[in-house]
Structure 1
Amino acid sequence: MASFLVARRLLSTAAARRLLPCTSPPPSAPAALCWLSTEASAHPPLPAPPLEPTVDPPKKDGASFSAGSGAGGAYGTGQGAASGGRRPGGAGYEEEQQKVLRASLLHVPRMGWSESAMIAGARDVSVSPAIVGAFPRKEAALVEFFMDDCLQQLMDRVDAGEGELLKNLMLTERLCRLVQMRLEMQTPYISKWPQALSIQSQPANVSTSLKQRAVLVDEIWHAAGDDGSDIDWYAKRTVLGGIYSASEVYMLTDNSPEFHDTWTFVNRGIKGALDLGKSYKEAAYLAETVGAGIGGSINGVLNKVFQK
């Protein structure tokens, strides 16, 4: 009988410990429960976990996507240059970081797309070289900053008056002119551009690189006057993406004066794709073949980036 009472008392105590602590138990509560309540009140309950941050869903027009660990910020999409939704060069960086990256570009022709060039750029603007450590992917950040800055320069030139001159040209001529304007910005770095392409193709960087190129070809089409949203929208950009990438590679081995042969290659590629009565889907296949598959890669990115 005694052992039964002991077991019953232990069970009662264990059950009482499972109850939520209360500051003032009811008068009829047993002494053991009153003791448990007093002990628990000395230790306040843990605070509620912080609320999860809310993220606004992407808008249909001017939607943006994260660049992951890219150059920072988000790329405007949807309406191209017409909406002012483009991402300005240096977006996502502090002013001091932008100064360092811009100054670093002056050292790229000699030092390449390297941490050394970034350190030299920091010293040029009287910033501690330790700031280079703030860029997780250093060399990739420099290349991506250059790509964004070139796109901004191209669109600024269109807005500043180049767009009016383009209106007097045929569509193929407008595209050729815009592609040439953009590729000309790489001429000071042409000896180091293979290194830039290698950096862009690294697994950690390729996503941002393809997104930047997708936005570039979209902006060029808009600047050329194409605001349509027909079934050939993706194919048009695939065509231009493949031709642009093929021309970029061709430029690396062009020894003609002022890259004359490259501009001829651009002209022939665009006119060959768009002037021979081909459907855009046929031209997209041609661009993918000529561009060694780069056109197809851009098409895949375009589908992901602009499909929302």
Structure 2
Amino acid sequence: MPMTAPDPAKLQLLEAALPNVAFDGWSPATFKAAIDATQMDPAQARALCPRGAVDLAALFHTEGDRAMVDAMKRESRGNRRYSEWVAHALRVRLDVIEDKEAVRRGTALFALPHLAADGAKLIWGTADAIWTALGDTSDDVNWYTKRATLSGVWASVVLFWLGDQSEGHAETDAFIDRRIAEVMQIEKLKAQVNESRLLKPLTAPLGRLMGMVKAPRAGGDPRVPGMWRMGGDR
């Protein structure tokens, strides 16, 4: 989905908040410190971020997606296989992160039960941004399955990366390759099942049903999966 630019004042709050996140997390104290640092009217800050630092944490994540998309526009697939191209996009998404502790604190924040749905939306948004950056043109059920699969991969990669202390995050690179290889094995198995003459009577009706599923249209209902928007910034 196209990513609209956030309000510059909101970005100013985010920039002011980041130095405090390592100490206070994405908390009310961090939000207050950002307001004080920017000398912004508290009412304006609350209008921009009704949930305070939670909204800034979401913005930090979506700005990472934006930076990844911008970086991928300057990239060339070259001779990479498609699976290698996806893996590269995951690495680029990690590379644009400038504050690992902010990600760690954000992961903990969106793991809280009342914010878990927001965390899932952000992960889905990253998967959608990656596939869009790679030029995905699917408009059927594959639009959903690609993003659902990559959401799971991205979530596991972030958790591994947060604990990775290897030089240059070499272990994370290897982990990404393993996860992508596992996904490719699943895709091969699915293809074999779909092509099996023995299973055709079972898979054919399901295939016709899945053929009725279409990707959400641009500008469509934001409540449709894949069309979620966080605070108007997606």
Q: TM-score of the superposition, structure 2-length normalised?
A: 0.70
Query: How many Å apart are 1:167 and its aligned residue?
Result: 4.3
Query: How many Å apart are 1:232 and its aligned residue?
Result: 3.0
Q: Which 4+ runs in 1 deviate beyond 6 A?
A: none
The 3 A distance-change label for structure 1 pair 96 and 224 is closer
Which of 180, 185, 195 is matched with 2:91 structurally? Answer: 180
Query: How many Å apart are 1:245 and its aligned residue?
Result: 0.5
Within the alignment, does 1:305 sit opposite 2:218 as a pair?
Answer: no
Deviation sequence 1:16-57 (CA, Å, 0-9, x none): xxxxxxxxxxxxxxxxxxxxxxxxxxxxxxxxxxxxxxxxxx
Q: 1:280-295, aligned counterparts within 5 Å?
A: none
Query: How many Å apart are 1:261 and its aligned residue?
Result: 0.7
SS of structure 2 residue aligned to 1:236:
helix
Q: % of aligned pairs identical? A: 22
* CA distance in 1 between partners of 2:162 and 2:226 (Å): 30
Structure 2, unaligned runs of 5 or more: 194-215, 217-222, 228-234
* CA distance in 1 between partners of 2:192 and 2:14 (Å): 40
The 3 A distance-change label for structure 1 pair 130 and 219 is closer
Which of 118, 139, 147 is matched with 1:237 structurally? Answer: 147
Number of residues of Structure 1 aligned to a counterpart in Structure 2: 197
Within the alignment, does 1:148 sit opposite 2:62 as a pair?
Answer: yes
Q: 1:22-41, aligned counterparts within 5 Å?
A: none
Aligned position for 2:36? 123
Aligned position for 1:106? 19
| Matching residue's letter, 1:238 | A
Which of 128, 132, 146 is matched with 1:222 structurally? Answer: 132
Greater relative CO (CA pairs within 8 A, separation 6+):
2
Within the alignment, does 1:205 sit opposite 2:115 as a pair?
Answer: yes
Q: TM-score of the superposition, structure 1-length normalised?
A: 0.55
| Matching residue's letter, 1:179 | L
The 3 A distance-change label for structure 1 pair 202 and 137 is farther
SS of structure 2 residue aligned to 1:255:
coil
Query: How many Å apart are 1:231 and its aligned residue?
Result: 3.9
* CA distance in 1 between partners of 2:67 and 2:98 (Å): 15
Which one has a larger percent helix, Structure 1 or Structure 2?
Answer: 2
Deviation sequence 1:198-239 (CA, Å, 0-9, x none): 321334433333222222212211222321234433222222
Structure 1, unaligned runs of 5 or more: 1-79, 283-301
Task: Tell me which structure has the larger Cα radius of gyration.
Answer: 1
